[in-house]
Chain A
Amino acid sequence: MAFDLPTIWAVLICVALTAYVVLDGFDLGIGVLFWFGKDRKERDTMMNTVAPVWDGNETWLILGGGGLFAAFPLAYSVLLTAFYAPLIAMLLALVLRGVAFEFRFRTERWKPYWSAAFFGGSTVAAFCQGVMVGAFVQGVEVQDGVYAGGWFDWLTPFTLVTGLALVAGYALLGAGWLVIKTSGDIHARMAKLRIPLGIAAIVLLGGVSLGTLYQDADIAARWFGGGFYILLWAIPALTGLAAIGWLATAWRGMEVTPFLCSLVMFALAMAGLAASLYPNLIPPDISYREAANADGSLAFMLVGALVLLPVILGYTAYAYWIFRGKVDPEHGYH
């Protein structure tokens, strides 16, 4: 397991995707929960909790796409073609929910429609992302470096469950975020709602994890093969601890800790996924090394990434810091 350029980039892409899932996760989750906003004012408040940061959150998805193209072009080309329908649906859903951030505040007559676009777009985007995760784990058929499967290979009971799991998971993150950023009625409602959401997310996540074992004999063999891989059991063990921590702190009505616990659960789920599939980037059998870009190109990008990623994390954290605290429904951010 040499630590070469493709390996470093595989780790970086995983980090970018994890950053995307936890950051855009809660703001897509707010869209999923838009249905539970009681009136316009409440929905305005919900949206305002992420208005200054949603764009930055979504940039991680652009990095995911651009980074996959730049680092693993074969995977970019094969996977995106394989997931054509859910991917296009996700992009269009993100278009609708993204413009809704601005359009909702620019009209009165059409406001309900843009609220619906925000709810529908966020939910469809989350569901499609989940479906694609499932389809990815399932594996895709490749011949001569080109996708050779059918149009609906991505559509199976397993991928529908992963889709639902991600919707529930994002809604949990969204509820956790709203508990932190709001007060009053909406705060109380979200604090209550997060408990069933969290239980649903944990059950679905557990189901998906078990399902993953049955997708491929190699995956099951890795987890139950003993030896060195016994160490991998730290991942589900920690996930279990995070889940217990989440339940205990959410039950007691705490604000920040349960949200952090749910973020940790997500990050660990990503780690579990990576551990199951390693070293394949196009499951079931094309490794990230085979899919990697030329070394010279990877090296050129790495210089920039190592310098710029800390800077990006720095000013992103600063932007969150500027807009810290609860959103006042009467006075917005002022």
Chain B
Amino acid sequence: MDLDPIALARIQFAFTVSFHIIFPAFTIGLASYLAVLEGLWLATRRQVFLTLYKFWLPVFAVAFAMGVVSGLVMSYQFGTNWGPFAEMTAPVLGPLLAYEVLTAFFLEAGFLGVMLFGMGRVGEKLHFTATALVAIGTLISAFWILSANSWMQTPAAFHIDADGRFAPDSWIGVIFNPSFPYRFAHMTMAAYLATAFLVGAAGAWRLLKDKTSAPGKVMFAMAALMAMTAAPLQLVIGDLHGLNTQEHQPAKLAAMEGHFETREGAPFYVVGWPDQEAGEMQAAIAIPKLGSLILHHSLNAEVTGLDSIAQEDWPNVPFVFWSFRVMVGLGMLMILYGLCALVLGLRKKLFEARWLQGWAVAMAPSGLIAILAGWFVTEAGRQPYVVYGLMRTDEAASPIGAPGVAGSLLAFVVVYLTVFVAGAFYMIRLAVRDPEGVTGKRELKKGPIRSAGVEPGPAQKGGEQGGAG
């Protein structure tokens, strides 16, 4: 079999960036959650908030470390595998990434040590400041990297300079390119929602073990509140983001909807198999006219299909179509979950419905899966371009032969899977502990130098048994 080096390089990039995005998404949400918990502890002095802060801190440390090391890989991979892309886009994207490092990464890294190990070494307020700065750092980082990604989706405020590179005309125009505000809102909200469902699952797990657990109730209720409010809000933001895509990236939107033909009163395909070769939707369950209603807010409006675009410029339609359905389907499940929690909450039975707790545990990875599916939609939907409409992906790759890329891809897969399995295992084991059991003497004997003692030995096993039950 002849391996295509560009296809391999794309698989490598997709694999490494998919692995990476899980951890920043989780740490964006968790850093803000920790800042809220510590703020609530300082404001109310209710022990449960401090208990929960200490409970989530080691999980945050593991997730953050995995995000840092996989992010380092990303900062070099443009150069190793996508040299021509790097050279063409450097005048525009270089400064955005440089600002991400200068304004976000150093801030996070500088105060992370204080946040993880500084309790007891610095004052309470200063410690809270460190937590808040780390949380702000994660958001600043998201701001810059999403700006850079959005520019690749909807390039703006540039000209082609004498060297054939994209050169910026206005930094405001570059940074706040047309899709950026929507993407930033959508991704930040997604990170918060994904974290809420992970926290909610940990709370539900605790409640299933012990109905009276106060930290379990607090986590479960806070997560339910997020599901009630943020999940419907995300639907609205997503809709606006979709309308923006319709305006700027019609091929992507048509692939998301599975619309091959341009027509008035277009249906909405709930499911179906988009046949890329034949250019038609097969085995579809369709709701008439709903497509026009969603996209133009009018029953008989004309919807642009892929037939208006040359076939060589189409993305992989089935992949985009199905990734979109996974994302939206999970979003709908989250909204439904929020509604159920709302009804139960109004009847004062939020903590009694065991089925809701079971559902919450099952929903634990839902947000992270939805984030991955969403990124599949937006990145695969931009193909065959790396810079939409301007630079094709196959013109962007470095001249590295297939055996070289295959070798590095194999190495990435082996190392990342090892690290992922171990990291996920440790995080889950930390998340199923009893928060109250671990803030006592036992917790103090654990971890690096996060708190008093440094003898992780026997205490570790105790924690494990206590947690997993």
Q: Which B103-151 residues have C-beta < 8 A from chain A?
A: 103, 105-114, 116-118, 120-122
CB distance from B56 to the nearest CB of A (A): 14
**B393 in the interface (beta carbon within 8 A):** no
User: Given the complex, which residues of B lie within 8 Å of A91, measured CB to CB?
Assistant: 72-73, 76
- What is the distance, in angstroms, from A333's C-beta to the closest C-beta of chain B? 4
- CB of A315 within 8 A of chain B? yes
Whether B234 sits at the interface, judged by CB under 8 Å, is no
Within the complex, what minimum Cβ distance (angstroms) separates B168 from chain A? 6
Q: In the complex, A227 Cα to B95 Cα: how many Å?
A: 39
B418 to chain A, nearest CB (A): 8
B74 nearest CB across to chain A (Å): 9
- Compute how far the CA of A106 lies from the CA of B430 in the bound complex, rounded to whole angstroms: 9
- Hey, which chain A residues are within 8 Å of B332, CB to CB? none
Choose, from B179-187, B275-283, B312-320, B419-427, the stretch at the interface.
B419-427
Q: How far is the CB of A322 from chain B (nearest CB, A)?
A: 6
Judge if B79 is at the interface, Cβ distance under 8 Å: yes
Residues on B with beta carbons closer than 8 Å to the beta carbon of A84: 80, 400, 404, 408
In the complex, are the beta carbons of B90 and A96 less than 8 A apart? no
Q: Is the CB of A58 within 8 A of B116?
A: no
A61 within 8 A of B: yes
> Is A185 part of the binding interface, using a Cβ–Cβ cutoff of 8 Å?
no
Known: A63-B101, A297-B168. A95 touches B419 (CB 8 A): yes
Bound together, the chains give a CA A61 to CA B94 distance in angstroms of 16
Per-residue contact bits, chain B 81-102, to A (CB 8 Å; 1 contact, 0 not):
1011011001111110111111
- Which of A64-72, A209-217, A231-239, A260-268 forms contacts with chain B? A64-72
With A294-B91, A315-B111 already in contact, the answer to whether A76 and B430 are too (CB < 8 A) is: no
Once the chains bind, are A53 and B102 in contact (CB under 8 Å)?
A: no
Q: Which residues 39-94 of A have a CB within 8 angstroms of B?
A: 40-41, 44-45, 47-48, 51-53, 55-56, 58-59, 61-63, 65-71, 73-74, 76-81, 84-85, 87-89, 91-92, 94
Q: Is B382 part of the binding interface, using a Cβ–Cβ cutoff of 8 Å? A: no
Give 1 or 0 for each of B43-60: 1 = CB within 8 Å of chain A CB: 000000000000000100
Tell me the complex Cα distance, A43–B102, Å.
Answer: 33
Q: Is the CB of A322 within 8 A of B121?
A: yes
B94, B105, B411, B448 pick with most chain A CB within 10 angstroms: B94
Tell me whether A252 is interfacial, beta carbon within 8 Å: no
Which residue on A lies nearest to B405, using beta carbons? A84
- B87 close to A301 (CB less than 8 A): no
- Complex: A200 Cα to B452 Cα, angstroms: 39
Please tell me if A11 contacts chain B, counting CB pairs below 8 Å. Answer: no
Question: Are the CB atoms of B449 and A301 closer together than 8 Å?
Answer: no
Q: How many A residues touch the partner, as a band?
A: 35 or more
Please tell me if B461 contacts chain A, counting CB pairs below 8 Å.
Answer: yes
| Known contacts A103-B426, A323-B113; A65 and B91 CB within 8 A of each other | no
How far does the Cβ of B8 sit from chain A's closest Cβ, in whole Å?
Answer: 13
Chain B contacts with A in 416-448, Cβ cutoff 8 A: 416, 419, 422-423, 426, 429-430, 446-448
Name the one of A81, A329, A330 contacting B400, with C-beta atoms under 8 angstroms: A81
- B392 at interface by CB-CB < 8 Å: no
Specify the main secondary structure of chain A where it touches its partner.
helix
Which residue from A76, A85, A87, A312 sits with its C-beta under 8 Å from B102?
A312
Bound together, the chains give a CA A55 to CA B105 distance in angstroms of 9
Contacts of A74 in B (CB 8 A): 87
A328 to chain B, nearest CB (A): 8
Q: How far is the CA of A194 from the CA of B80 in the complex (A)?
A: 36
Partner-binding segment picked from A25-33, A144-152, A162-170: A144-152
Judged by a CB distance under 8 angstroms, whether A102 is at the interface is yes
Residues of A within 8 A of B401 (CB): 151
* Further 20 A-B residue pairs, CB within 8 A, beyond A66-B97, A80-B79: A51-B113, A51-B116, A53-B113, A55-B113, A65-B76, A67-B101, A69-B97, A70-B90, A85-B408, A99-B65, A99-B422, A103-B422, A297-B94, A300-B168, A305-B98, A312-B102, A319-B110, A322-B113, A323-B121, A332-B451
Q: A-side interface residues toward B, CB under 8 Å?
A: 40-41, 44-45, 47-48, 51-53, 55-56, 58-59, 61-63, 65-71, 73-74, 76-81, 84-85, 87-89, 91-92, 94-96, 98-99, 101-103, 105-108, 110, 145-147, 151, 293-294, 296-297, 300-301, 304-305, 308-309, 312, 315-316, 318-319, 322-323, 327, 329-334
Q: B residues near A, CB below 8 A?
A: 58, 61-62, 64-66, 68-73, 75-76, 78-81, 83-84, 86-87, 90-95, 97-103, 105-114, 116-118, 120-122, 161, 163, 165, 167-168, 171, 398-401, 404, 407-408, 411-412, 415-416, 419, 422-423, 426, 429-430, 446-449, 451-457, 460-461
